Structure 1
């Protein structure tokens, strides 16, 4: 199936409509994070997602990726003595599956797409946190303090410039 073009909202809407509720909510949370005008939609989607038993998009899981059969139970996976036991779980996640599954290659290396998605989610979370901080009384107070300091600095700079220009006429 080809990707919908930017000018074809119907195809995109059809793909979104085909998603299960939890995945659609996760997409909405990611898509609306950091957009001040869509804050009510973000909050509603986050609340509904938490009511389904999820707290939001899981940081290490890309929504809609199929799980590998036999997750973590592959008998031929051994852990490195230098790394410890955790390597078996990551390698078991993709054991016996050809190509990239769950955002990892057969050798357990994250794919560029999964890394990009994770970075985009973190950026969305940061923008959302910043928007929420600015809506709090403490955040508004910090913004007001910043503006007051900037105004004081501009006034002081204007005074310095005026005194320098006044001194130029006397010395000539």
Structure 2
């Protein structure tokens, strides 16, 4: 008989109260076994739930397994695409302008750009119809005209200097 099975045999022979005392001493000061100490406290107070008996063949379940998504706001479980029975590759279904993986579709991006461009054009037209907008346009025109006139003067003066330097 192995040492482990001998210890298990002796523990099985103990009455419940003594077994709880032995287990409490075994888990004392071990941070990884806090859950066992809490369960022992429930057994001592009589609040423990009775379930299926645990034996050496019972599968050990990791109590720290975290699901793929939590219950926090915005967290979702990924949903696979529904097969439709058609041969060939399947494009991901677009919902609300986004693919199933969360990427914006080309159509939704194009629509947003066109909408923003149209809004900008409309704002420009509305600005020009207001008195302040007309005044700004008139000022722009006046500055452009003054700039063209000044450029013409500079060109004429340079042309005169070129022709005067040749001696003609």
Q: TM-score, normalised by structure 2?
A: 0.46
Which of structures 1 and 2 has the larger relative contact order (alpha carbons within 8 angstroms, sep 6+)? 1
Which structure has the larger Rg over C-alpha atoms? 2
Normalization by structure 1: what TM-score? 0.45
